[in-house]
Amino acid sequence: MTDSSLREPAEPAIPVVNTHVHFPPNFSAFTTVADAVGAAAAEGARAVGISNFFDQQVYAEFREQAGAVGIVALYGLEFITLDDELAAAGIRINDPANPGRMYLCGKGIAPFKEKSATAARIATDIRRGNDERAEAMVAKLADWFLTCGLNTGLTAEAIAREVAYAADVPVEWVSLQERHVAMAFQRALAELDPDQRAAVLERAYGGPSRADLDDAGALQGELRSRLIKVGTPGYVPEVPLSFADAYRYVLEMDGIPTYPTLADGVSPVCPFEDPAERLAALLLDRGIYAAELIPIRNTVACVDAYVKAFTAAGMVVMAGTEHNTPDRIPIEVACVDGPVSDFARQAFWEATCVVAAHQYEVGQGHPGYVDAIGALTGANPAARRAELVAVGAQLIIRKQEQQ
């Protein structure tokens, strides 16, 4: 019999971490910040990244509530950008419906610092452009439904008030998304009896609904695709930032420019992202040294292929869940066909540690993962990355031990 005292100590299990969750008042599976943080705590999550569009005023509330339950709060944001050259060439990047459109994230930002003049200008442009689009979208949809026999009485202002009330936040923090708008019109339709609802939708669509009209989430999705997207009665063009402005804003906010990868979340894979090795090279050419996956939309094999390509190129790659639909999926990341591999889980953990360390070190006035112009720090980037992994792991584990 082996003496138990001679056994090698077991490797500590990698904790649950998630770098990409949309929190209310962004459209979210959760009702409030407390709801989201409570769900993460119930799963034993040790680090969670908020990643909202358009407005970050809720981040202080997230910081307070996450800290109270021992979760390291990671701060991120997300943009829709436009690359004119790729758009002209018809190249799809990570938005399968719109050539030239690139979603871009920032990780480890400093949301509570005073914004520079450049950052303030970009932030104002982001918020104004989205709010004007939402107002026009709601007005078009309300008029369209009126011609189809349903007087919703909806306005962007009224929808924003409802969103703020549900999320328990000031209305000034709300910048409406398409999903908010679709939900509001779905709820107006739900007030009709089933036959009336079907008749109104048939007139609105120019053909019968294909959704289960009693399934709120399914109907909201159909409303977006048939009445809000390009070529439909409620369509209003988005107001994307230039890639250069979005990249600059991330750096102005002390963050890490990060590419959110769609991969086989769409078939065929967008040309910009195929193959994975070429994508990694294209990102490095743009000064992007971090990538992110949302594995629940990808297969295990695909996730591993992209993780291998990114890490081989010297990048870090993290993972999140978004939670930007009504579905209450777990906080712990998983693929569409099963758990993530041990290889991918290790990479995601290390990248999360890098984000936590970057956020902390820059807050202390020290270099992080990238510098103010987006370049990797340290004479030896691999050694510097390992240092940051160690620092981040200590921050996350220490937070856990304090509870």
In a domain, 19, yes or no: no
Q: At what angle do helices 117-147 and 156-167 cross, to 10 degrees?
A: 110
Over 50: is that where the pLDDT of 4 sits?
A: no
Verify that 297 and 357 share a domain, yes or no. yes
In a domain, 32, yes or no: no
* Domain-terminating residue out of 228, 245, 264: 228
Structure confidence at residue 238 as a pLDDT band (50, 70, 90): confident
How far is it, in rounded angstroms, from Cα 89 to Cα 110? 36
Verify that 106 and 133 share a domain, yes or no. no
pLDDT in tens, 61-70: 999 999 999 9
Verify that 280 and 387 share a domain, yes or no. yes
- For residue 377, CA distances in Å to 108, 367, 369 come to 15, 7, 6
Verify that 224 and 257 share a domain, yes or no. no
Verify that 192 and 269 share a domain, yes or no. no
In a domain, 322, yes or no: yes
pLDDT in tens, 153-171: 999 999 999 999 999 999 9
Find the mean pLDDT for residues 347-367: 98
CA torsion 338-340-341-345 (nearest 10°) is -160
Verify that 108 and 257 share a domain, yes or no. yes
Q: What pLDDT was estimated at residue 10?
A: 41
* Domain-terminating residue out of 228, 244, 272: 228
How far is it, in rounded angstroms, from Cα 31 to Cα 326? 10
Q: What pLDDT was estimated at residue 398?
A: 79
In a domain, 52, yes or no: no
Question: Helix (H) and strand (E) counts for the chain?
Answer: 13, 8
Task: Report how many domains make up the chain.
Answer: 2
In a domain, 39, yes or no: no
Contact 290, 351 (CB under 8 A): yes
Over 80: is that where the pLDDT of 390 sits?
A: yes
Closest by alpha carbon to 75, among 15, 23, 129?
A: 23
In a domain, 68, yes or no: no
Verify that 151 and 101 share a domain, yes or no. no
Verify that 269 and 353 share a domain, yes or no. yes
Residue-number span of the structural domain to which 207 is assigned: 124-228
pLDDT in tens, 32-72: 999 999 999 999 999 999 999 989 999 999 999 999 999 99
pLDDT in tens, 256-298: 999 999 999 999 999 999 999 999 999 999 999 999 999 999 9
Structure confidence at residue 12 as a pLDDT band (50, 70, 90): low
Q: Are strands 290-293 and 256-261 parallel, antiparallel or unpaired?
A: parallel
Verify that 272 and 211 share a domain, yes or no. no
b/e for 181-219, b at 16 or more Cβ within 10 A? bbbbbbbbbeebeeeebebbbeebbeeebebebeebbbb
Regarding pTM above 0.85, the answer is yes
Q: How many CB atoms lie within 10 A of CB 231?
A: 6
Q: What pLDDT was estimated at residue 2?
A: 35
Q: What pLDDT was estimated at residue 239?
A: 83
In a domain, 3, yes or no: no
What are all long-range contacts of 387-391, with beta carbons under 8 Å and residues at least 24 apart? 387/357, 388/353, 388/354, 388/357, 388/358, 388/361, 389/350, 389/353, 389/354, 389/357, 390/353, 391/353, 391/356, 391/357, 391/360, 391/361
In a domain, 243, yes or no: no
Structure confidence at residue 386 as a pLDDT band (50, 70, 90): very high
Q: What pLDDT was estimated at residue 56?
A: 92
Verify that 260 and 394 share a domain, yes or no. yes
Verify that 216 and 290 share a domain, yes or no. no
* Domain-terminating residue out of 213, 228, 243: 228
Ordered DSSP codes for 84-138: HHHHHTT--SS-TTSTTEEEEEEES--TTSPPPHHHHHHHHHHHHHHHHHHHHHH
pLDDT averaged over every residue in the chain: 94
Verify that 107 and 132 share a domain, yes or no. no
